[in-house]
Structure 1
Amino acid sequence: MAVDVLTLSIVVAIYLLLIVGIGYYGYKKTKVAEDYMVAGRNTHPVVIALSYGATFISTSAIVGFGGVAANLGMGLIWLTVLNIGVGIFIAFVFFGKKIRETGKRLSAYTFPDLMGKCYNSPFLQYISGIIIILSMPIYTAAILIGGARFIEVTLSIPYETALLGFALIVGAYVVFGGLIAVMHTDALQGAIMLIGMTALLLLTYIHLGGVVAANTALTNMAHLVPEGLAAAGHTGWTSMPTFGSPIWMTLITTMVLGVGIGVLAQPQLIVRFMTAKDDKSLHRATLIGGPFILMMTGVAFTVGALTNVYFYQQSGQIAVTAAGGNIDSIIPLFITQSMPDVFVIIFMLTLLCAAMSTLSSLYHTMGTALACDVWGRGRECALSLTANKRGIMIMMVISILVAFLLPGSIIARATVIFMGLCASAFLPAFVNGITSKSPCVIGAKASLLAGAFVWFIWTVFVHAAESSVLGLSQFIFGVPSILSQPWSACNPLVIALPVSLIVMVLFQIRHNRRMA
């Protein structure tokens, strides 16, 4: 579908002017390191909520996980339940206040800095920073790919041009405006995302004849599930896969648990709590964050599954077949083929907002981890505005290079990989650090290293989705995975996080007995 170039140009120009204006506002408000790195610790609750939600919900949720829902079905909506229950309620109500208070008391500026100061351990700060700068570029690259793919399809411009332009525009306001610019642009982008996703849900059901007709049609398509997916446990797009089957393991352990739990240990989200003025701000933000996440993820997963109805009615093909086997292309293709021109423009902005809001936060987190926690750790340059700007630019370039190297259908997979690693390595030690009166530093080190190590081993040698691609298991043992189904479909998080937790608890119990 052709898009009115003049209308699109005007809308994009207005949007970019607003982004530039907010970026300039952030630049003028940024005077010291506290402004650049934690937004002056005085952010409005609405800005916190929308920034948190917009950072959390990216092209990964809309394009990547929407494509997964088109392939595996509406069972993915259980992730929405966990996103709200864990990512909003537990994160804000139980963890947010502790993070805000501890961060302010210890004058922490980044997530690794908070980890290090909770345990008075430079090692924990350093290793946390290392994990971020080594793993976050993969997630960042996936966000870049999601945004660039939609720009490519919508504007019919080369993918490489779309990716580079997208990356550089976001990088500009992050470098100059710091976290103040990032969070306030996030808030604007979050509001646009809410409008776009609401319209997407309504237009999709209208186009497919209403809620009952669309859902019934999707249910009646169960016999069209490809033989390979059916053999792996797929029972239809409106029902859960067979319990314990490979697809059930993928859906529950990788998608639902991997992201639903992994969100608690996301460095770029944890910093949002450190920007709040007081606990009251976090309480107010919770009331906004819950409905926002519901609309973002719930709509993406519902519409993703329903694209099967549309493509079958139009071409007699299910969604993944119509998209040429690339699940990352399903949502962009559905939008451009089925929606009115004006909505294509609105949704392009929605997707750009989703990608830019997450991308800007990842740039900021990676860059400050490099400059403050790794390169500048223990030195005066750690809090230098110039050093942190350079760190952001370096990590931006690395992420662009990674984006060009990653294969197709990678958006959701890269998200799960990053969130699973963060939860496995950071979560037990981090929670213990902000809640314990006398946290055990040896236990934190052991927990972090054990979680990361087990996650790595399971990823490389067992979890077939990654081990078969990496090829190390095949090279050493002659098989793509050293364990058979269902274990080869079990996400590394499900194994590594309990190991990390047990290690932390055992060391902390021993530490408490010694201190008694």
Structure 2
Amino acid sequence: MAEQTWFVIAIVIYMLVMLAIGFWGFGQTDEYDDYVLAGRGLNPFVAALSAGASDMSGWLLMGLPGALFVTGFSELWIAIGLLIGCWANWFWVAPRLRSYTEVANNSITIPSFVENRLRDTSHTLRIICSVIILVFFTFYVSAGMVAGGKYFQATFDGDYSTGLLVVAIVTVIYTVIGGFLAVCYTDAVQGMIMFAALLIVPVMALFVMNDPGSIFTWATTKEYGPWTDGEVNTHYFSMISGVSFAAIVGNLAWGFGYFGQPHIIVRFMALSSPKEAKAGRRIGIGWMLLCVIGAAAVALIGTSFFGQDPNIAITDRDSYETIFLDMARILFHPLIAGLVLTAVLAAIMSTISSQLLVTSSALIEDLLRLFHKRPMTNQKLVYYSRTAVVAVATIAAILAWNPNASILGLVGFAWAGFGSAFGPVVIASLYWRRLNTPGAIAGMATGALVSFIWGQSPLGDVLYEMVPGFFLATIVMIAVSLMTAPPARDVTEEFDEAARLSKLADENPELAVEEVQAKAAKGEI
């Protein structure tokens, strides 16, 4: 049987499993809140793997190995920054956000939480949040679709646009059908596939190589990949040689982005209780650390693996982002290779589905319901949300039609936009009593604009836009909040109550948030 046929069988099996989970999610989704936030019932294992899989996307299996292969270990500063940021996000944001969103009028989206937290009756905050989500997530979803197109090119020697459409259509189907619950459970399954593949592929490559020890000298002494015509990458193993201080700072700054990623922190809001954040943090960080090690191993081993054998080559000769795909295809029987290669589809589709759902929530929950004066039934809200998923996916596919777009470039642009716009405001909303509506609006607008303008200018090549975006947004947010009237008394009282309940929830982990509220009101705890 031809190699391509085996690949098709493996992919079909994977797609059917994803669609089956989607239909299962459909059966579990009765109300609009279930479709958007799974009724706040996620266990920590599903929440952690879902957050990780939707976070890492095709970047982990394609963007990061490609960057490490071309440049060397200096690209690891991004991974280090992300690991630190992910830990901090689970430690400081997850438990407080889970309890506060329930206290703040049971908020089910980030825009609605920020508005409810500050009692912004003008709805300006919600509108700005939603517009930022629509703009940056459209680019983010496009990054996933670019990865999907490249995946099919490398795996099937097929057409880029056909692969893009297949990934987009299947992802849209199970997202539309099953909503947030299906997205989280498919993400969890996809996270496990990614984890297994990133550990299996580099280990198997070492076993089949004639001289596995050469992986530690090949890049620095011999030609490989983009290093030709007598040039060698003498700085491959150095994390500082040939790298500017601004580049290191910019790469580490990726970690700041975690605090403002709606598709990640919405998982915190969906946890069954704040206490689950501790278990989620351990699972999520452990998963991420091992996956990053696997991605680095793919790049390191790949320098010698492809360099030793002139009969094999990496499909993507520009950014080398198909190195993982090509290595798996060469190493395994076509059926096993096809199943391993679904890890890339898993990474791509998990991120796209999460982002599509958050974007549709911004359109329906935060914009349509705001301007639609008549109350709408649950069925109509779910219908509109599903329509929004299809619309956003269509626009993203059009933007992704250019096969030369860099996955890492698109992801970096969107990641900085969200981190700069939402990160400072989310942290301040949870921990700063003095934050007011003008300060939040000014900080959010500053972060989004600085990140967008900086990233589109030559300055983006000097310093990652996250750095100026995040810090200028923080400065402006604090300055405007202090120069304008303090928040109303009911806002600060609710903040104090949320902080108190969060502390009580930590001290009484056996109780749900609503039980803590009830017992606190009675003076029982």
Aligned residues, how many?
A: 482
User: Aligned in 2, Cα 1:226/1:20: closer, same or farther, shift over 3 Å?
Assistant: closer
The alpha-carbon deviation at position 510 of structure 1 amounts to 4.4
Describe the shift of the 1:244–1:203 C-alpha distance in structure 2 as closer, same or farther (beyond 3 A): closer
Would you say the 8 A contact 1:208–1:214 is kept in 2?
Answer: no
How big is the shift at 1:333?
3.3
Report SS of the residue matched to 1:190. Answer: helix
Identity %: 23
1:15 equivalent in structure 2: 14
Q: Report the AA paired with residue 328 of structure 2.
A: I
Shift of 1:514: 8.9
1:390 is matched with 387
Partner of residue 424 from structure 2, selected from 415, 423, 428: 428
- CA shift digits 1:138-181 (9 cap, x unpaired): 11111112122122321233222221111111101111111011
User: Does 1:489 pair with 2:462?
Assistant: yes
Change (3 A) 1:95 1:382: farther
Q: Once the two structures are superposed, what CA deviation does each residue of 1:399-428 show, in whole Å capped at 9, x if it has no partner?
A: 111111x45251001111001111111111
Output aligned runs, 1:98-109, within 5 Å. 98-106=96-104, 107-109=106-108
Residue in structure 1 matched with residue 293 of structure 2 by the alignment: 298
- Cα deviation, residue 228, structure 1: 12
User: 2:409 pairs with 404, 408, 413, which one?
Assistant: 413
The 1:282–1:368 alpha-carbon spacing in structure 2 relative to 1, beyond 3 Å, is same
Paired position in structure 2 for 1:314: 309
Task: Compute the TM-score of the two structures, normalised by the length of structure 2.
Answer: 0.84
Change (3 A) 1:507 1:212: farther
The residue number in structure 2 matching 1:484 is none
> Who is 1:363 aligned against?
356
Moved more, 495-504 or 207-216: 207-216
Measure the CA separation in 1 of the matches of 2:59 and 2:305. Answer: 22
Farther-moved stretch of structure 1 (31-40 vs 111-120):
111-120
Partner of residue 131, structure 2: 130
Partner residue of 1:502? 475
In the alignment, which residue of structure 1 is the partner of 2:502?
Answer: none
Which stretch shifts more, 449-458 or 206-215?
206-215
| Match of residue 460 from structure 1 | 456
> How does 1:225-304 map onto structure 2 within 5 Å?
226=227, 235-242=234-241, 245=244, 249-250=246-247, 252-257=248-253, 259-304=254-299
Partner of 1:43: 42
Call closer, same or farther: CA 1:381–1:207 in 2, change over 3 Å: farther
* Distance (Å, rounded) in 1 between the aligned partners of 2:486 and 2:183: 45
Q: Which moved more, 1:384-393 or 1:325-334?
A: 325-334
CA distance in 1, matches of 2:32, 2:405: 39
Q: In 1, distance between residues paired with 2:249 and 2:128?
A: 26
Do 1:254 and 1:416's aligned partners in 2 also have CA atoms closer than 8 Å?
A: no
How do 1:471-482 residues align onto structure 2 when only pairs under 5 Å count?
A: none
Please provide the CA RMSD for this pair: 2.9
2:161: which partner in 1?
160
In the alignment, is the contact (CA less than 8 A) between 1:74 and 1:302 conserved in 2?
A: no
The aligned counterpart of 2:176 is 175
Name the residue aligned to 1:52.
Answer: 51
Structure-2 change in CA distance of 1:14 and 1:101 (3 Å): same
State the distance in 2 between where 1:509 and 1:123 align: 19
For 2:14 and 2:317, locate their aligned partners in 1 and report how far apart those are by CA, in whole Å.
32
Q: Distance in 2 between matches of 1:249 and 1:313?
A: 35
User: What per-residue deviation string (whole Å, max 9, x for no partner) do you get for residues 351-385 of structure 1?
Assistant: 11111111110111111112222333253359711
* Structure 2 counterpart of 1:94: 92
CA–CA distance in 1 between the matches of 2:239 and 2:228? 17
Which of 379, 395, 400 is equivalent to 2:397?
A: 400
TM-score, normalization by structure 1:
0.85
1:210–1:44 Cα change, 3 Å = farther
After superposing the two structures, state which structure 1 stretch, 298-307 or 171-180, moved more: 298-307
Distance 1:511 1:180 in 2: 41
Give the Cα separation in 2 of the matches to 1:65 and 1:434: 32
Contact 2:224 2:306 in 1 (8 A): no
1:505: Cα distance to partner? 2.2
**What is the one-letter code of the residue matched to 2:90?**
F
Indicate if the aligned counterparts of 1:151 and 1:348 stay in contact, CA closer than 8 A. no
Instruction: Give the CA deviation at 1:223.
Output: 10
Moved more, 9-18 or 490-499: 9-18
Aligned equivalents of 1:359, 1:229: Cα separation in 2: 41
Output the CA distance in 1 between the equivalents of 2:167 and 2:447. 34
Change (3 A) 1:196 1:210: farther
Q: CA deviation at 1:213?
A: 3.6
Name the CA shift for 1:511/1:151 in 2 (closer, same or farther; >3 Å).
same
Of the three residues 318, 340, 344, the one matched with 1:325 is 318
Native 8 Å contact 1:23 1:181 kept in 2: yes
The answer on whether the counterparts of 1:372 and 1:382 sit within 8 Å (CA) in structure 2 is no
Task: Kindly indicate whether the alpha-carbon contact (under 8 Å) linking 2:218 and 2:303 is maintained by their aligned counterparts in 1.
Answer: no
SS in 1 for 2:318: coil
